Amino acid sequence: MKLHIFKIWVLPVDTQHNQEIFQRDNSVSNQSAPSFDQYVKLNELKAQLKEKDMVIKKLKERIKSLSGNMNNDKVKKDLEEIDTINIKLDHRVSKLIAENEHLKQTYKQIYDSIKSTRVRSKEQCDELINQVNLKYVEISDLNANLQEQGLIIAALRDELRKLKGKSYSYTMVSTHSIDPEMLKVDVEPIAPRLLNNRTVHSNYLKLTQEQAAILREVVEQ
């Protein structure tokens, strides 16, 4: 049995380093870019979670078709427990989507303000960094939900083996093809005034490499 566990690696936020860059340069358009990358990761996680829900539904239908020789009450109870777990997960995902939408609007307002004024105070920078850190926590929670659903699928496979009395050949639902546009690493160019700044160049290269690594992991999964 091969259990697919999806992991998302998130970027740490170096608060002290971001503040030092802010003090050297008032141009902050590059600093706000990582927050939008998080939405791409969330959309990918949501798609994976939706796909696992489809797998669970198909396995439940399979169990119903093979459960004629089993205790109907036990099968019904197991299915009710699975439904309860799914309802709870759906509620958590819906809540996360709503919170993400609200945060997305907040980010857009902050980004528009930064783009028009090109100036931001230290307090605003700290607040934005705190919000990005909270987004990392939300992504970790969603990844945990995906792992939990993977365990549910594994339990359903074991149940099918018991019903059939032999190994169950399981074919995973085919994943959707990935649009090539999604595989492009979208990084905003370095501002002209920062072209000779070695620290900015180092951070720019590190961010580009980490985004490429994340996209490669998504494709391999």
Considering 47-51, 166-170, 212-216, the range whose residues carry the highest mean pLDDT is 47-51
Mean pLDDT of 143-159: 75
Considering only residues 31 and 73, tell me which one the structure prediction assigns the higher pLDDT. Answer: 73
Q: For the chain, how long is the longest CA-to-CA vector?
A: 75
Domain boundaries, the chain: 15-179
pLDDT value at residue 19: 46
- Give me the DSSP letters along 69-81: GS-HHHHHHHHHH
Report whether pLDDT(4) > 80: no
Nearest-angstrom CA–CA distance, 205 and 55: 39
The set of long-range contacts for 199-208, using a CB threshold of 8 Å and a minimum separation of 24, is 199/20, 199/21, 200/21, 200/30, 203/17, 203/21, 204/30, 207/11, 207/34
Q: Does the reported pTM lie above 0.75?
A: no
Mean pLDDT of 3-30: 43
Report whether pLDDT(6) > 50: no
